[in-house]
C-alpha cells in the first residue's frame, strides 16, 4: 500500500520549493568541492548553475521518454514510470556534473526493467542503444549498484496505472458515462506529461490518476464532478478540499510544462563536458586508470582465493592419507 510505503515516507515531498532546495544543495556541494581556488566569476563561467542543471535534466527526461517509447520489445507504462522515479530521485542526491544524465538515464531504465520484472537481458537492452553497445553495457552495469545506493535501496514504486484501472472500473459501475474506455488516450497522454513534472515526487499515485481521469473526461466533454463528490467522497467530504487542491496542482503542472530551448541545451551540453567530474567520465584517462586498478585488485583477490582453496585441498588430502595409513588416528582418547 502506498500509504505505508517507503515512497510516501522518504520520497514524497510537500512543495516544489523543498525539491528546489535539495537540487541547489547538490549544485553548491559539487562547485565547492571542485571549484576550490576559483573566484566567483570563474565558478560561474565554468560550472552549471542549479537552474542550468534543472534545464538540462528536463531535456534528458524528454530523451528518457523517447527511449522508452521506441524500446523493443514494447515497454509497459509502469516500467517507464518507475524509471522516471529513479531518475528524478537520483538527481535530488547528486549533481549532473558529477554523474552525466545520459549514463544514469540508461541505468535507471535497465534497473526499472529488472525491478518491475520486464524481462530483457542486458544484450537485448543495449540493442536499443545507438553507438558502442559494449561500452554502454559496461557503463550500465558499473552504475547499477551506485544507482541502488543513491536510492537507499528503496526500489518499489507505486505508479498511477493501477488506480487508473480502478477508477475506470468504478466509473463503469457507478456512473452513467457511456464507454469510459474512450478516456484512455487522454489519460495516457496526461500521465506521459506528468513524468516531465515534479508531480511524481509530490503527489500520491491515486491523486495523479484522478487528475488524469478528470482531465481526459473534460476533453471528452464529460463532467465527473458529481462522481467525485458523491460516489468517491460522499462519506468523507472533509478530505475533499485536499484532494481537489492536489488535482488542481497536478493539472496546473502539466499545463505549464515548458520544453527546453534547443540552442540553450546545446550550449549547456558543451559546458557540462568541460565541467563534469572526470573521475566519473568513461572517456577520461582518470576513469580508465581507476577501472583498471579496480579490475587488477579483483584479480589479486581471485588469485588469493584460489591459493586458499588449493591449500585447503592439500590439507584434506594429507588427512585422508594419514587416516588411510594409520586408522588409529581416527579415534579420540
Asked, colleague to colleague, whether 2-157 and 160-256 share their fold, the answer is yes
To 10 degrees, what angle do helices 184-194 and 205-219 make?
A: 130
* Residue of 117, 142, 123, 96 lying closest to 276 (CA atoms): 96
Quote the pTM value.
0.86
Give domain limits for the chain. 2-157, 160-256
According to the model, what pLDDT value does residue 325 have? 38
Cα four-point dihedral sign 312, 318, 320, 323: negative
Over the chain (333 residues), the average pLDDT of each successive run of 10 is 95 97 98 95 96 97 97 97 98 98 97 97 96 94 97 98 95 91 97 98 97 96 90 80 94 96 96 95 82 66 52 40 38 34
CATH superfamily, region 2-157: Cyclin-like (1.10.472.10)
According to the model, what pLDDT value does residue 313 have? 41
Query: In CATH, what number does 160-256 get?
Result: 1.10.472.10
CA 308 to chain centre: 41
Amino acid at each position: 500500500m502506498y500509504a505505508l510505503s517507503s515512497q510516501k515516507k522518504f520520497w514524497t515531498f510537500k512543495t516544489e520549493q523543498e525539491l528546489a532546495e535539495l537540487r541547489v544543495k547538490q549544485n553548491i556541494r559539487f562547485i565547492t568541492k571542485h571549484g576550490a581556488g576559483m573566484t566567483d566569476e570563474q565558478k560561474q563561467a565554468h560550472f552549471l548553475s542549479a537552474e542550468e542543471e534543472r534545464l538540462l535534466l528536463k531535456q534528458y527526461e524528454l530523451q528518457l521518454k523517447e527511449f522508452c517509447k521506441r524500446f523493443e520489445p514494447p515497454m509497459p507504462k509502469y516500467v517507464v514510470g518507475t524509471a522516471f522515479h529513479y531518475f528524478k530521485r537520483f538527481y535530488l542526491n547528486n549533481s549532473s556534473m558529477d554523474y552525466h544524465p545520459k549514463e544514469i538515464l540508461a541505468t535507471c531504465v535497465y534497473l526499472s526493467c529488472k525491478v518491475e520484472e520486464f524481462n530483457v537481458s542486458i544484450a537485448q537492452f543495449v540493442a536499443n542503444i545507438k553507438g558502442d553497445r559494449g561500452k554502454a553495457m559496461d557503463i550500465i552495469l558499473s552504475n547499477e549498484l551506485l544507482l541502488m545506493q543513491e536510492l537507499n535501496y528503496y526500489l518499489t514504486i507505486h505508479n498511477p496505472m493501477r488506480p487508473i484501472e480502478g477508477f475506470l472500473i468504478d466509473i463503469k459501475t457507478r456512473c452513467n458515462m457511456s464507454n469510459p474506455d474512450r478516456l484512455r488516450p487522454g489519460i495516457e497522454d496526461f500521465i506521459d506529461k506528468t513524468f516531465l513534472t515534479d508531480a511524481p515526487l509530490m503527489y500520491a499515485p491515486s491523486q495523479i490518476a484522478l487528475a488524469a481521469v478528470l482531465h481526459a473526461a473534460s476533453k471528452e466533454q464529460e463532467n465527473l464532478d458529481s462522481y467525485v463528490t458523491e460516489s468517491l467522497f460522499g462519506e468523507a467530504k472533509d478530505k475533499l478540499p485536499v484532494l481537489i487542491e492536489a488535482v488542481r496542482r497536478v493539472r496546473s503542472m502539466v499545463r505549464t510544462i515548458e520544453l527546453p530551448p534547443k540552442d540553450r541545451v546545446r550550449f549547456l551540453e558543451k559546458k557540462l563536458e568541460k565541467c563534469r567530474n572526470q573521475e566519473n567520465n568513461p572517456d577520461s584517462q582518470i576513469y580508465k586508470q581507476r577501472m583498471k586498478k579496480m579490475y587488477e585488485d579483483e584479480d589479486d583477490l581471485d588469485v588469493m582465493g584460489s591459493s586458499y582453496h588449493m591449500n585447503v585441498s592439500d590439507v584434506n588430502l594429507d588427512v585422508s592419507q594419514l587416516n588411510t595409513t594409520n586408522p588409529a588416528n581416527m579415534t579420540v582418547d
